[in-house]
Chains A and B, each alone.
Chain A
């Protein structure tokens, strides 16, 4: 069953996004002056890659099979190894190049971003069979927007670009990871809550029938 379920993961999209993230991260390693910007973008793409894991074009059929949500989500979560491996390869290369960034906090930001992407897909999966594109766009925007606005980077550090920002970033990501784990457990172990989430979203019935992704116009 593991192999069968893993075969349904949209690997092209997941690996393609992870490769784009690796290219961006490699650009940061080649030009240390922009390493924090490029790594922040690369990690956002890796989070987007994780959000694509739960896409299932055959969801209308799969959702009716006796295979529960927990094993399906658990098996698909093995795909998280792809973005995490790409991210930790970038972190390892950064450490070897001797780039001055708080790598422990950066690693936590990587793990947090990837889990956040997966969680958003997990929640959106209750409403649509292919939530990946919407969830991935949402998580990328959530991770990138705070760094683009005036004043906001002073308060929120989604990527710890210097040692001074490391403690606040670690606090933020520890909190996010905790909330995400709780959300994943809630959405998978208590399937009744999936129906609540589905009921709360307008037009869910139509989306489920047509297979359209959540958030898509």
Chain B
């Protein structure tokens, strides 16, 4: 590929990403999620001790989960107009990459929510977290608040690329939410290996219930930063799976190689998270 041709493709992908981002910002499901998250933040503002833990759910459900449904809709709507869009000089993997760029919106909003939560935690006192080093506290909070909001929309794009079943977005949302709830409830009662893996595989690692809620304090399993690495590997896998659709030739080989590498790295991260 010549340098000018590469520049044109890069510019086209960037323009498409900008357009997809605009569409995502006015997606009704995503806007509803943002409004409900804001309502949840305002509703919990007067009770800072409980608010910080409640925010984890708000970020995961309304930014990650609703973001996943919105991204799925957006991807499917693009598939429906494939006959027209296929004429444009942009490959399917580049289109998938442009769609994946939308995930930065809920990611940034979740980061803002984390800032609010940290401020509220400072107000409420920090008894539950004092046993953690500052670095581990940061990793735990990033894993709990921010990364589910990034992974959710990316999963939505991957689902939209590969699965035509019209209810898959809300089915996946409720199954993942059910899984996280089950892990949370079981972890309060017992701490065996099965529960550990169920909690760590859940989309939101809700591992530190507030002592105020009457549930005994449960320490974070494993190493927080490695868990962040595991979540980032999952996000990378979601992006590559989305881009794999319609890829051919050398691009396909590169994506498959990247997929194998990120899956292997993720597995290593997960094993180290549990082992260390």
Contact = CB atoms under 8 A, between A and B. Distances in A.
A149 B40 CA distance: 6
B185 A34 contact: yes
Assign chain A's interface to a size class.
Answer: 35 or more
Majority DSSP secondary structure for residues of A touching B: helix
Contact of B166 (A27, A132, A141): A132
Interface in A1-53: 10, 12-13, 16-17, 20, 23-24, 27, 31, 33-34, 37-38, 41, 44-45, 48-49, 52
Nearest to B28: A215
A192 to B, nearest CB: 29
Contacts of A23: 175
Contacts of A48: 167, 170-171
Given A31-B185, A150-B40, A217-B77, A13 B178 contact: no
A212 to B, nearest CB: 7
Given A33-B185, A34-B182, A16 B174 contact: no
B167 A133 contact: yes
A150 to B, nearest CB: 4
B170 A136 contact: yes
A11 to B, nearest CB: 12
A12 B167 CA distance: 11
A37 B178 contact: yes
- Of A16, A52, A148, chain B has the most CB atoms within 10 Å of the CB of A148
Contacts, number: 95
A23 B73 CA distance: 24
B169 interface: yes
Majority DSSP secondary structure for residues of B touching A: helix
A34 B181 CA distance: 8
Contacts of A150: 40, 43-44, 54
A37 B185 CA distance: 11
Contacts of B61: 148
Given A45-B171, A141-B170, A217-B23, 8 more contacts: A20-B175, A31-B182, A38-B181, A41-B177, A132-B166, A136-B167, A137-B169, A150-B40
30 contacts: A12-B165, A16-B167, A16-B171, A20-B175, A23-B175, A27-B182, A33-B186, A34-B181, A38-B182, A41-B177, A41-B178, A45-B167, A45-B170, A45-B174, A48-B171, A49-B167, A133-B76, A133-B167, A137-B169, A137-B170, A140-B170, A140-B174, A141-B29, A141-B170, A144-B174, A149-B40, A149-B43, A150-B40, A215-B28, A216-B73
Interface of B: 23, 26-29, 32, 36, 39-40, 43-44, 54, 57, 61-62, 69, 73-74, 76-77, 80, 165-167, 169-171, 174-175, 177-178, 181-182, 185-186, 189
